[in-house]
Chains A and B, each alone.
With several copies, the nearest count.
Chain A
Amino acid sequence: MNFDFSDDQKLLKDQARKFLTEKCTSKAVRRVLEGTQGHDAALWKGVAEMGWLGTAIPENYGGLGLGYLELCVIAEELGRVLAPVPFSSTVYLFAEAVLAAGSEEQKQKLLPKIAAGELIGTFARAEGPGAVTAKNIRVTFKGGKLSGKKIAVVDGMDSDYAVVLARGSDEPGERGLTLALVDLKAAGVSRRAQDSIDPSRKHAEIIFDNAPAEALGKIGEGWVTANNVLNRAAVLMAFEQVGGADICLAMSKDHAMSRYAFGRPIGSFQAIKHKLADMYVNNELARSNAYYGAWALSTNARELPLAAAAARVAATQAFDYAAKESTQTHGGIGFTWEVDCHLFYKRSRELGLALGPQRAWKDKLVTELELSNAA
């Protein structure tokens, strides 16, 4: 049984923690949260210099070709510090889409830039409130032109390129969908920043008006590829969520030890004790599900869809609970602006929605169980 990260991977984790503790304080997060900048440019540069952007990109495309377990440990560290950089949009989603469906030419053109930190990319899916289903995708991709509107695109304002889920043929439902690669600085693309519940990750509405674009992968394979990419991103995002949840627990614990009421540390009261014990249990279960997802991701196992959904659901639930109850544990100061609780409260919800809500993942999970008959 070898169900843990290797010593090398743990070493990488320690390096990442050292780097981020120094370069990504909550001050840095607040600068983006309170400012108009879409991300922390200096930190982004540093992350690129550390080579993290190319962690899972093969060497022949300018990456380090280390693999996905390495990317998972970095994701957890980024999640612990709420790193305000377009890492997940660029690496988990955009780069994964290019790797999964891109032509040799597209890979050569885009991946080295990503690895070098010269290209920010994102993935545009939703067009309105409610579920994203094959039949409610209205953005069209015809004759090399993209038209329609996408909303809540994470890091949409800062991105150079986007992969867009669009209707590429008249085929009905899923078979009509295609992924389109579009240069967001090209003519026919207009963007508007949208207020987010977590302004440390900026969102955008993007309107395409006959914007020049090219297909990413085969026409009609958009839906399948998009779901594959989402599964891969879900595992990586789960590590960010677990990282965030662990910090919420650590903050709660520190406060419970140092805050006195009725002549005792509040951590000596069962109401607080049991709350934190529940946080701990959720976090451990989420971590274990994330590990399984990491294994499936790194080995391209056929269990990936199930593992990804489980990792996503467990991590979302753990982070939601930890973030809201950490605020509760802090009492009055917990909902003030100057204490960091709200940074995690906001991020927990935002990450919980970014790749689609729990509901959709739970439905996928059960569908996988029905097929595999596992469980």
Chain B
Amino acid sequence: MDFEDTKEEAAFRSEVCAWLEANAPSEKDDAADFMGERGGAGWMKAQRAWQAKKAKAGYACITWPKEVGGYGGTPIQQVIFNQEEGKFHVGGNSPFAIGLGMCIPTLMAYGDKESIGRYVKPALLGEEIWCQLFSEPAGGSDVAGLRMRAEKNGDEWIVNGQKIWTTGAQFSDYGILLTRTDPNAAKHKGLTMFYLSMKAPGVEVRPIKQASGASGFNEVFFTDVKIPDSQRLGEVGQGWGVALTTLMHERLAVGGGTGGSLDVKELIALARNLELEDGPALKNASVRERIADWYVRSAGLKYTTYRTMTALSRGQQPGPEASIAKIVVAPKLQDLSAFAMELEGEAGALKGDDAPMHGAFQMGWMGAPGLRIAGGTDEILRNIIAERVLGLPPDVRVDKDIPFNKLPSGR
């Protein structure tokens, strides 16, 4: 048991390091732009440039076959690349992640030769950005409950309805779109998947203002949007099967320790500089107990990731343990931030530079509710662990084998 690379991994790592040393933008040049506002011109330019460089070197999608511009590598090699890339000022939070992680794989699985030939390369090179259009106001946790109507008209489809929680829609060129083509079929049977241009007439993107004031997501409205049948992915009525391919990728994507940035280390830093009723905060038994409780959860997650990487390194499928990250991280962020504000006392009610550590904990506390919901609520994730990991029986389903338009909807 150790934390070392295998000989092959070590070789790949040094190859990657050498390449990054030679090619990664240094702080002097456009690296600064990576720190700029997400979606801003400078940020986008820097992201595209870096993506192109990686793609040309074959590092953009390491597990993809060489033929489609990948490296023909293993998952562990992808992990190693990410680790090393993370040491450079190249941002992360990439605008291409969703497209390359979810949309393009779906396209490669279900698209025709032409589409694949046309769209994979530009996406890989960062020239075109893709987004994923599944969630709707009426279909959140219950994605298949979506209502967006697509009606066949000759060899094209007319689409009307609304999508929501679409990340990156504001700067996306294309999207994959899940629609309902047969409201008389059972819920999961009447769906069909398409891809379309986000610039198509009738597509309108509006940012969603979150409780925190920020806008990370969008609503996308569709009015008589025309999609040629040639842009259908999978058979008519088979959309749910196609979507599952995509969503499987999402779980992995979101599963990663999002929001883990604010943790025990920061809490200790805060406590070092605070006096409580009975003396230094870091000497307070209740504070120490909380630090320990949260530390063992964070450390547990960290070493769980090591176990997953080990499985990858040994060429095995990572076990279900990979699915627990978000359910641990999100509530911890909320509780830890609230506790930190309690330590700060009256000053904890202040924001930004008026609060200790530039309001880091206030920001974490405002962001936590979203993290507990986006990409699968705490409750849905527990269902997934119980059903897919532990194999417990599904809940009673009353929405099977009933025409979708006969389902009770509360409307």
Contact = CB atoms under 8 A, between A and B. Distances in A.
Interface of A: 1-6, 69, 125-126, 128-133, 136, 151-152, 194-198, 203, 205, 249, 253, 256-265, 267-274, 276-278, 280-281, 284-286, 288-289, 291-292, 294-295, 298-299, 309-310, 313-314, 317, 320, 324, 327-328, 331-338, 341-342, 345-346, 349-350, 352-354, 356-363, 365-366, 369-370, 374-375
B276 A359 contact: yes
A358 B298 CA distance: 17
B377 A130 contact: no
A131 B345 contact: yes
Contacts of B362: 197
B304 A285 contact: yes
Contact of A261 (B141, B396, B402): B141
A129 B347 contact: yes
A355 B370 CA distance: 28
Interface in B316-332: 321, 324, 327-328
B373 interface: yes
A198 B341 CA distance: 13
B183 to A, nearest CB: 14
24 contacts: A2-B6, A3-B3, A152-B347, A262-B395, A264-B399, A272-B392, A273-B387, A285-B297, A285-B304, A288-B306, A328-B373, A332-B135, A332-B373, A335-B210, A336-B209, A337-B208, A345-B369, A349-B349, A353-B349, A357-B348, A359-B285, A366-B292, A366-B295, A375-B263
Contacts of A346: 211
A253 B390 contact: yes
Contacts of A317: 293, 296
B18 interface: no
Given A3-B3, A262-B399, A313-B296, A274 B386 contact: yes
B397 interface: yes
Contacts of A265: 393, 410
Contact of A369 (B295, B307, B309, B391): B295
A369 B268 contact: yes
B349 A203 contact: yes
Contacts of B2: 2-3, 295, 299
Interface string B352-384: 101110010010011001101110011101110
Nearest to B215: A337
B140 A261 contact: yes
A264 B343 CA distance: 42
By secondary structure, the A interface counts as: helix
A375 B268 contact: yes
A353 B297 contact: no
Contacts of A354: 346, 349
B274 interface: yes
Interface of B: 1-6, 9, 76, 135, 137, 140-142, 145, 164-165, 187, 208-213, 263-265, 268, 273-278, 281-282, 285-286, 288-289, 291-293, 295-304, 306-307, 309-314, 321, 324, 327-328, 334, 338, 341-352, 354-356, 359, 362, 365-366, 369-370, 372-374, 377-379, 381-383, 385-387, 389-399, 402, 407-410
Given A6-B1, A360-B345, 7 more contacts: A1-B312, A2-B4, A3-B310, A270-B379, A277-B389, A349-B365, A363-B277
A335 B309 contact: no
Contacts of B408: 260, 263-264
Contacts of A133: 275, 277
A336 B211 contact: yes
Contacts of A205: 354
A309 B343 CA distance: 18
A147 to B, nearest CB: 20
A363 B279 CA distance: 13
Given A263-B402, A337-B209, A349-B365, A332 B282 contact: no
A291 B303 contact: yes
A176 B45 CA distance: 62
A49 to B, nearest CB: 27
A353 B382 CA distance: 30
B397 A2 contact: no
Nearest to B9: A1
Nearest to B385: A277
A363 B264 CA distance: 15
Contacts of A198: 349
A281 B349 contact: no
B369 A369 contact: no
A313 to B, nearest CB: 5
A136 B277 CA distance: 10
B392 A267 contact: yes
A278 B165 CA distance: 28
Nearest to B270: A129
B142 A262 contact: yes
A268 B288 CA distance: 39
